[in-house]
Amino acid sequence: MNYENENILIGLSGGINSMAVLCWLVESRIKPKTVYLYYAHFKEHSPDTFQFVADGIRYARKHFDVKVKITNNSILEFFRKHNMIPHPTNPACSDWLKIRGINQYAFANDIKIDLVGYVKHELKRRSAGQFKHSNKDLFALSKHYPIGEFTDDWCFEIVDRHIGWHPAIYDILDEKGKRLFKHNNCLPCKNMYPKDINNIKQHYPEYYNKAIQLSAELSKYWGRSEADFYTTFGRDLGQENTCNTCKF
């Protein structure tokens, strides 16, 4: 689609794929009327994430008329306030701290088009989920997936070429040379499996310790599996499984 003279939105997550959308737009030579950038920053993002997004915003301003909204958030503070660590099937943190904000921003600025950074291997599954979620809203953005034919490696190549670098979390490799962290999400994220939480414990212990302390304080668990958490991580603080009925 040609986005000339359109107001378009790019939600910058702090990750490689959403930044790749911005770089793709520059290379496409399409000139939208205004490019709106929305970034929900979290204290739990990896240390250089805010700088990465800031560099992307500066780069965008060299090429487009740009308007920006940044919010400052903390999932730990949100969970503590609401006395919960939500189950992955009910991601209250994403809904309240990201999705609602970006939809309100789009509505207030008469934006109809949202460019989303899903790549080839995740496009079908994730875009279907977004469509299902958008149908619940009175105001629904038109989701477009301009880099859906490309791969994660392509995203790193185009971002490094345009922005000049990417967050260091992506350069942490396992013994086979594969990235330990495929996404630059909150550390930890409720969606993570035990191996992912263990990687945070090893490479970002300050983030891990704060998350475990909150778990002990609220008697709630991190990750997708209650049993896995309490047998693998909860025992670090002598926690017992007390979440037999609470799945929210």
Q: What is the 3-state secondary structure (H, E, C) of 96-136?
A: HHHHHHHHHHHHHCCCCEEECCCCHHHHHHHHHHHHHHHCC
The domains of the chain, with CATH numbers, are 7-168 (3.40.50.620), 187-237 (no CATH)
Q: What angle do CA 177, 178, 184 make, to 5 degrees?
A: 135
Nearest to 42 by CA among 101, 109, 103: 101
29 within 8 A of 18, measured Cβ to Cβ: no
Output the tens digit of pLDDT for each of the chain's 248 residues: 789 989 999 999 999 999 999 999 999 999 999 999 999 999 999 999 999 999 999 999 999 999 999 999 999 999 999 999 887 776 789 999 999 999 999 999 999 999 999 999 988 766 555 545 554 554 578 999 999 999 999 999 999 999 999 999 999 999 999 999 999 999 998 888 888 999 999 999 999 999 999 999 998 888 776 666 555 554 444 444 444 333 32
